[in-house]
Structure 1
Amino acid sequence: MRKSLMRMTLRQMQVFRAVCDSRSYSRAAEEMALTQPAVSLQIRQLEALVGQPLFEYIGKTLYLTEAAEALMRASRDIFGRLESLDMQLSDLQGSLQGQLNLAIESSAKYFTPHLFAAFRQRYPDVSLQLVVVNHGLALKRLGASRDDLLIMSMLPADMALEFLPFLNNPIVAVAPPEHPLFDKGLLALEDLCAWPLLVRESGSGTRKACEEFCHQKRAHFSRILEIGSAEAQCEAVIAGLGLALMPRHAVYRELESGALVELPVAELPLMRSWCVVHARGKRLSPVAQAFFDFIREQRGSINALAARFAKAPPVQPVGH
């Protein structure tokens, strides 16, 4: 090992990570309660130890060099091990402490806080850093091992993963209550194709699952409107812009209030499973391992907890 690398300090690594995350010396200085010249000095000293530049400007944008990318990966490992050590020392003292770094697909954000709250009742000293992303970004974070664990559906077949399915994710057709299809009784998926379909952005797991399902069922929607978030998609349906296929978890409040209705489609709900996932071989921190074990042990309770997010309404009789 280069002797110069042994002279790196944890403080230098903290400043470096702040610059990487913010892509800005000034924002990193503000975050670290330092002056900008102090941040610049720490980075120059670190570059001298590494022997290569860590950042470069293209226009006004700060980019990481290959050396910085390598140092960032090493820093994640170093700080991850220190955090794991802190958790193990807490565990030896008889209490589990530390932070769970959890990434979730956007449709899971409705029940995940309730899941963590149940976990927190058992381990009150554990904190949470929660990142909400779409399916595409979840795959990237999984590949880069950015998080302790991920909650996602539609697991990739080309990645070596440890995963645990723990909760159904029913996808249903929703419409405004005044929609003409609502009083038609039991429908076929093909009956929906005459209306515009509101879909999530490219990279959404729900969109991918629905596209594959509709292709399999030969249901072809000629009019597609792309909406960039589940909340905006829900509002667009309420506004009468079209129908949508959405996780029941994501629209349970609107279904309960009557702002939306679930259309009784014979081929639906489309069932997927939420899974808690990490890369195979990844060494989990004590907190992450405890959360994984909690989900495995409490799947029955978790399903009962989430039942109110996924209660199916009765089929509306013809001529209601």
Structure 2
Amino acid sequence: MRKELTRITFRQLEVFRAVCEHLSYSRAAEAMALTQPAVSLQIKQLEELLGQPLFDYVGKKLHLTPAAEALLATCEQLLSQLQALDMRLSTLQGALQGTLQLAAESSAKYLTPHLFAAFRAQHPKVSLSLTVTNRAQLIRRLGDNRDDLTLMSQPPQDMALEFFPLLDNPIVAVAPAGHPLSHAAQLPLSALENYPLLSREPGSGTRKAVEEFLQQQRVHFKQGMELMSLEAQREGVLAGLGLALLPRHAVRGELGSGQLLELPVEGLPFKRSWCLLYPRQKRLSPVAEAFYRFCQQERLNLQRQLA
């Protein structure tokens, strides 16, 4: 190994990772409470040690060079190992300590804080770093090994994963108060076809589940509107733009207040499960392993508490 590489510091790697994340020296400096010249100096010193440039400016945008891509992969491994060492040393001292890097599908974000709070009641020194995104992005993050654990519905079948079903995810049809269908005692699913359906963006797990269900039931909506989040869907229904098939957890407050109504549709709710998972070849940190086991052991209690 070249002697120059042994002179790389963890501080330089942290600054480098921040620049990669923000693709901006100024935003990286702001995130790390440094000056922009200080960030530039750290990157320059890294480039001198590596003997290769790390970033290119193309069209006024910062781009990673092949050397930066290679360094970033190593950087993530080194910092992850250092964090794992910190956790293991804390465990040896008798207290679980560290940060759980958890990624969750958008539809699960309403439950994730409650789930972690139950775990943290037993391990108060553990903190949470939560990333919420859609299914497509979660699959990319799984492939890049970005997180400790992932909470999502319908685990991808083409990946080697360890997982178990954690919580039910009931999907219901919702309408605004006063909707023409609100007084029906029972409705066939086809009765919804004459109204616009508000759906999520491509890549959403909820959209994938809804499309598969409608296809199985041979129901086709004549009108539709694509919205980019569960919140936008919910507000769209409240505004009278159409109906939506949504996780019941995502509209619990509005159903309770009467702003939204759960329509009594035959075959609904249909259920999917949120699964807790990680790549099979991944070695879990002590915090991640403890959280995974906690969720397995407390699954029935959690289902009752979060139903």
Normalising by structure 1, what TM-score?
A: 0.94
- Residue 16 of structure 1 corresponds to which residue in structure 2? 16
- In the alignment, which residue of structure 2 is the partner of 1:305? 305
Structure 1 residue 74 corresponds to structure 2 residue 78: no
State how far apart, in whole Å, the 1-side matches of 2:215 and 2:119 are. 39
State the Cα distance separating 1:50 from its structure 2 match. Answer: 2.1
CA distance in 1, matches of 2:196, 2:36: 52
The corresponding residue for 2:192 is 192
Alignment RMSD: 1.1
Partner of 1:238: 238
**Does the alignment pair 1:146 with 2:130?**
no
Q: How does 1:160-309 map to 2 (within 5 A)?
A: 160-307=160-307
Q: Which one-letter code corresponds to 1:57 in the other structure?
A: Y
Determine the structure 2 residue equivalent to 1:102.
Answer: 102
- Tell me how far apart the structure 2 counterparts of residues 216 and 69 of structure 1 sit (CA, whole Å): 43
Per-residue deviation at 1:9? 1.1
Structure 1 counterpart of 2:30 = 30
Q: 1:13 and 1:22 mapped to 2: Cα distance?
A: 14
Q: C-alpha distance in 2, partners of 1:119/1:144?
A: 26
Q: Which amino acid aligns with 1:49?
A: L
Can you list the C-alpha shifts for 1:96-115, whole angstroms capped at 9, x where unaligned? 00001111011101111111
Gaps of 5+ in 2: none
SS of 2:193 mapped into structure 1: helix
- The offset of 1:64, in angstroms, is 1.3
For residues 262 and 93 of structure 1, the distance between their equivalents in structure 2, rounded to whole angstroms, comes to 51
Cα distance in 1 for partners of 2:208, 2:134 equals: 11
Specify every segment of 5 or more residues in structure 1 that has no aligned partner in the other structure, as ranges: 308-320
2:238 and 2:35 map into 1 onto residues whose CA distance is 49
Where 2:164 maps in the other structure, the secondary structure is strand
Contact 2:165 2:276 in 1 (8 A): yes
Q: What amino acid sits opposite 1:284 in the alignment?
A: L
Q: How far apart are the structure 1 equivalents of 2:243 and 2:257?
A: 18
Query: What secondary structure, in the 3-state scheme, does the structure 1 residue paired with 2:94 have?
Result: coil
TM-superposition CA deviations, 1:141-167 (whole Å, max 9, x none): 111111111100011111111111111
Q: Cα gap change, 1:206/1:7 in structure 2, threshold over 3 Å: closer, same or farther?
A: same
Where 1:294 maps in the other structure, the secondary structure is: helix
Instruction: Tell me, in whole angstroms, the C-alpha distance in 1 between the residues paired with 2:153 and 2:304.
Output: 19
Please give the alpha-carbon distance, in whole angstroms, between the structure 2 residues aligned to 1:107 and 1:119.
20
**How far apart in 2 are the matches of 1:287 and 1:3?**
35
CA shift for structure 1 position 37 = 2.1
The Cα offsets for residues 162-217 of structure 1, whole Å up to 9 and x where unpaired, read as: 11111110101000121111222211111111110000111111011111111111
1:159 aligns with 2:159: yes
Q: Is the 2:177–2:261 Cα contact (8 Å) retained in structure 1?
A: yes
TM-score by length of 2: 0.97
Give 1:56 shift: 0.9
Whole-angstrom CA distance in 2 between matches of 1:163 and 1:51: 43
Q: C-alpha separation between the residues in 2 aligned to 1:193 and 1:244?
A: 11
Residue identity opposite 2:300 in structure 1: G
Residue 147 of structure 1: SS of its match in structure 2? coil
Shift of 1:8: 1.2
Whether the aligned pair in 1 keeps the contact of 2:184 and 2:264 (CA below 8 Å) is no
Deviates more, 1:181-190 or 1:289-298: 181-190
Counterpart of 1:132 in structure 2: which amino acid? V
What is the CA distance between 1:222 and its match in structure 2?
1.1
Secondary structure of 1:122 counterpart: coil
Q: Alignment length, in residue pairs?
A: 307
Q: Kindly provide the CA deviation profile for residues 128-153 of structure 1, in whole angstroms up to 9, marking residues without a partner as x.
A: 11111011111111111111111000
* Cα distance per residue 1:224-252 (max 9 Å; x no partner): 10111111111110111110000001001
Q: Alignment identity in percent?
A: 61
